[in-house]
Chains A and B, each alone.
Chain A
Amino acid sequence: MTDLTSLTLAEARKGLADKTFTSLELTDAHLSAIEAARVLNAFVMETPDQARAMAREADAKIAKGDAGPLAGIPLGIKDLFATKGVRTTACSKILGNFVPTYESTITSQLWRDGAVMLGKLNNDEFAMGSANETSCFGPVGNPWRREGSNTTLVPGGSSGGSASAVAALLCMGATATDTGGSIRQPAAFTATVGIKPTYGRCSRWGIVAFASSLDQAGPIARSVRDSAMLLRSMAGHDPKDTTSVDIAVPDYEAAIGKSVKGMKIGIPREYRLDGMPAEIEKLWSQGAEWLKAAGAELVEISLPHTKYALPAYYIVAPAEASSNLARYDGVRYGLREQGKNIIELYENTRAEGFGAEVRRRVMIGTYVLSAGYYDAYYLRAQKVRTLIKKDFEDCFARGVDAILTPATPSAAFGIGEKGGADPVEMYLNDIFTVTVNMAGLPGIAVPSGKDAQGLPLGLQLIGRPFEEETLFSLGEVIEQAAGRFTPARWW
């Protein structure tokens, strides 16, 4: 028997259905892999007992012929998702040993469909970061290394644990969230597939909030098909989230292999940055060629407000975060650092509980919402956001079906290499991805090649609202052409 952990989700589903192996065997294989890969620090909480219990239940259902679409598939869950009875911290000290009494809508849908939980995955504290270095549990290692180097690289962030675990074959897929690129950027850094669906496609209920108007959950998996399978279970309207949209969830898997002939693919002029590595440039052209070869039509488009996206994002996201994180005050749950009075209790708790990046963003957010600054910052950023959205709408109105861009401006970098002196250096990682969140559109990152040092690079496809299927069809074309990439095991 081949190593069960190297199967794709689709292959595992077949193996389980054919009774080639059981979910318990599949789950045990992954639990062993997790144990052997602790150096990656991808998991912050392993739940082997629960995993085996869920696997046995799945096996029983498979035996009865009563299997859900994800029956017996072992998954990792980003620590931002509330899991009933299992510690949920958003990788922040301030949540301490918080154990929710409730299950997020998305994870409960995964369990409804038979998936197995292996544990909770590392992420940037409150999803604030692009390298998974801000977690209170420490940084996550990328299973990829530069050729001939022992330097541990970051897996990207904030869903670094999810991307690393999926790439290192520790789980068959993972939940992730994306506020400015937190699914797509780590996917690109680890040669995994990550899709951020349209805002409102997945319920936010039970996911620790970062920036409510930008946050959207999605899967990270090892193939386009796998990500389609996962999204189908994760998506759906939830009356508990007013911003979720009541549109039927299509069978995303059916979009895989659909012809892309005649589709109009926009190539945005403004994404051609000065000083962009030639490799990225080359990858982008290569991707366009692959789509063209599959019958798609390439058109140059303009998204004129792109350059304002990152600054506007770094006003809107911290503003919402500063308010969303106010509830972590040491009064009802999580960490409490005593003080002489309530103000001191707040100050001590929040100073001790939040890491530097979170504190920075809470302060930025508080500042931009302050009396006298609101109009100049927050209001103006919202206007920029409207313009960014309109840029995309104009393109789609001219018949563009999807937009092709690089996923990141570079490949993965070393832990501690970026952002130490200037946080903007780190923020620039999201330059190609934040526009998508600002416009609420779906975006997928698909592994597309390697750089000269052997590190994976990804391309991003951006779609019309609620047309994730188009992205799966196009993504699979790229996947077929580029092939799949697996890191050499060093851990």
Chain B
Amino acid sequence: MSTATHKLLKGATGDWEVVIGMEIHAQVTSNSKLFSGASTAFGGEPNTQVSLVDAAMPGMLPVINEECVRQAVRTGLGLNAKINLRSVFDRKNYFYPDLPQGYQISQYKSPIVGEGEVIVELEGGRTATIGIERLHLEQDPAKMLHDKLPSQSLIDLNRCGVALMEIVSKPDIRDAEQAKAYVTKLRSILRYLGTCDGDMEKGSLRADVNVSVRKPGGPLGTRCEIKNLNSITFIGQAIEYEARRQIEIIEDGGRIDQETRLYDPNKGETRSLRSKEEAHDYRYFPDPDLLPLELSQSFVDELKAKLPELPDQKKARFVADFGLSAYDASVLVAERESAVFYETVLDRLANRARDGKMAANWVINELFGRLNKEGRDITGSPVTPEQLSGIVDLIGEGTISGKIAKDLFEIVWQEGGDPRALVESRGMKQVTDLSAIEKVVDDIIAANPDKAAQVKDKPQSLGWFVGQVMKSSGGKANPQAVNELLKSKLGV
């Protein structure tokens, strides 16, 4: 259901289309784990945040953490998805030391969230709509440390039992760009909602990517699953590599085996982890320790009413209320922090309707430009929203020109301070006193009679006069007033 044209890959036998579906594992933001009271804080001493339930001591029972349920429902609402008022927890059985119970409590046949969709932004203002198949809650396994001892592995149960949301997309993604945009957008939504911090470096967000290739419009090919990708860049690289690998095999007359693969970012390639035959039989069955999860419609409605404004809504509002371009609005809302910054600027503006758009330009061009140059992000900006709104106010009310404003921005960036006070103390105020400007204009016309005579034939040379006047006023003359005065004096 993509509305965008997507990239096809060229092979020896013609074009190939890539079909991608993703499973995103997003750690739920909550103080305690999905089925125990142990802390979820990241970075604690190993095995210090472990309850008897997490360690699967004999006779221990899981009790659902309501906050995790709320977070899953909020996420579902944020994905425009169907909330299932009845869902069931199942046991996914397999043996591994990172799984003390010998089973992961997950949701198999009846997930808490059903179908939804996400609109993703692509290069050149294109968009694509990616369907969501489902979202379910499950336990994160423990962390295994294989490289601390020569012949033994260590287990850290701190992560064991932390709530994960597995968000499964439909196979609607058609190239690496869409895949990256999808994860970016999903992460943005999760952060707006505050349901997952989206920190891929810490492993709060991980992706399994299913990739297959086919001739455009042809039947679906056999897919391979690339497990546990923890950066958006790697997701793109892994897809590109994997699609090429599959095309080569097929074009060489081979067959794709359904299998699980791992991406090696150092080598830039995927390699087989296990084949379909080696796949586990998870022996799913409803967890008899937990009753089906029943939610009331009013519980869901209440969460829906308190949902924050999400990026798509915010973008639409910026476009409608302040006349921003769709592109600028997208840039501002992409990260929650940027949107918050811009909105704080808006809040402080003396005349939001007049200067809202200018404020957006300042945030995007001056502030983001400068931040990018220095490799900083918005949270580390030396210029506060208050200061930036002060600068925009000064331009909007005509106290300083745009050019002076850039100097002022630089001073604020370097030295800090209140923009209005700086303009006062450093004499940066724009001269709007007409008689003062008129004197300068008269002097310059008098000093350049030849040029003044030419203006009538060459109206574009008016700019030269404007420049001269601005220069001799130290940039402080109001450019509009200068323009009008020159026009009337020179009879243009």
Contact = CB atoms under 8 A, between A and B. Distances in A.
A95 B59 CA distance: 12
A329 B283 contact: no
A479 interface: no
Contacts of A386: none
Given A205-B59, A206-B59, A329 B288 contact: no
Contacts of B344: none
Given A323-B93, A369-B93, A329 B102 contact: yes
A102 B95 contact: no
Contact of A95 (B58, B91, B291): B58
A327 B289 contact: no
A329 B64 CA distance: 25
Interface in B218-277: none
A239 B59 contact: no
Interface stretch (A163-171, A370-378, A402-410): A370-378
Contact of A378 (B59, B101, B285, B289): B285
A38 interface: no
**Which residue, B57, B63, B96, B155, has most C-beta atoms of chain A within 10 A?**
B57
A82 B59 contact: yes
Interface string A217-238: 0000000000000000000000
Interface stretch (A11-19, A208-216, A449-457): A208-216
Interface in A230-282: 239-243
A326 B102 contact: yes
B59 A243 contact: no
B103 interface: yes
Number of contact residues on A: which range applies? 35 or more
Contacts of A131: none
A240 B57 contact: no
B285 A374 contact: yes
A332 interface: yes
Interface in A316-350: 319-320, 322-323, 325-327, 329, 331-333, 342-343, 346
Contacts of B59: 81-82, 100, 104, 204-209
Given A320-B288, A327-B101, A366-B283, A333 B61 contact: no
A444 interface: no
Contact of B64 (A81, A101, A242): A242
B290 A242 contact: yes
B101 A326 contact: yes
A460 interface: no
Contacts of A204: 59, 61
A100 B57 CA distance: 8
Contact of B61 (A241, A319, A322): A241
A98 interface: yes
Contact of A323 (B58, B60, B61, B102): B102
Interface in B95-132: 95-97, 100-103
B187 to A, nearest CB: 33
Interface string B51-76: 01001111111111000000000000
**Which residue, A242, A342, A366, A374, has most C-beta atoms of chain B within 10 A?**
A242
Given A327-B102, A329-B95, A208 B58 contact: yes
Contact of B281 (A88, A102, A346, A371): A371
A117 to B, nearest CB: 17
A240 B61 contact: yes
A327 B97 CA distance: 10
Interface residues of B, number: 30
A243 B289 contact: yes
Interface in A74-98: 81-82, 88, 90, 95, 98
Interface string B134-174: 00000000000000000001010000000000000000000
B155 to A, nearest CB: 7
A327 to B, nearest CB: 4
Contacts of B58: 82, 88, 90, 95, 98, 100, 208-209, 327
Contacts of B61: 204-205, 240-242
Nearest to A80: B59
Contacts of A323: 91, 93, 102-103, 283, 285
A370 to B, nearest CB: 6
Contacts of A101: 52
Nearest to B280: A371
Contacts of A104: 59
A343 B94 CA distance: 12
A241 B53 CA distance: 12
A332 B288 CA distance: 24
A3 B149 CA distance: 62
Contacts of A239: 63
**Which residue, B100, B288, B291, has most C-beta atoms of chain A within 10 A?**
B288
B459 to A, nearest CB: 83
Contacts of A329: 95, 97, 102
A213 B285 CA distance: 12
A322 B281 CA distance: 14
A413 B348 CA distance: 88
Contacts of B284: 369, 374
Contact of B93 (A209, A243, A326, A342): A326
Contacts of A241: 61, 63
B288 A326 contact: no
A212 B290 CA distance: 10
Contacts of B60: 205-206
Given A102-B52, A242-B64, A331 B100 contact: yes
Nearest to B285: A369
A204 B60 CA distance: 8
Contact of A331 (B64, B97, B283): B97
Contacts of A95: 58
A208 B57 CA distance: 9
Nearest to A342: B97
Contacts of A242: 61-64, 289-291
B283 A102 contact: no
Nearest to A98: B58
Contacts of A342: 96-97, 153
A222 B475 CA distance: 104
Interface of B: 52, 55-64, 91, 93, 95-97, 100-103, 153, 155, 281, 283-285, 288-291
30 contacts: A82-B59, A90-B58, A95-B58, A98-B58, A102-B57, A205-B59, A205-B60, A205-B61, A207-B59, A212-B289, A213-B288, A241-B61, A242-B62, A319-B285, A322-B283, A323-B285, A326-B95, A326-B101, A326-B102, A327-B56, A329-B97, A329-B102, A333-B57, A342-B153, A369-B93, A369-B283, A369-B284, A370-B283, A371-B281, A374-B284
Given A208-B59, A242-B61, 16 more contacts: A95-B58, A101-B52, A205-B59, A209-B59, A209-B289, A241-B63, A242-B291, A323-B103, A323-B285, A326-B101, A327-B100, A331-B100, A332-B56, A333-B57, A342-B96, A378-B285
- Closest 10 CB pairs between A and B? A326-B102, A213-B288, A369-B283, A212-B288, A327-B56, A206-B59, A208-B58, A371-B281, A82-B59, A207-B59
Interface of A: 81-82, 88, 90, 95, 98, 100-102, 104, 204-209, 211-213, 239-243, 319-320, 322-323, 325-327, 329, 331-333, 342-343, 346, 366, 369-371, 374, 378
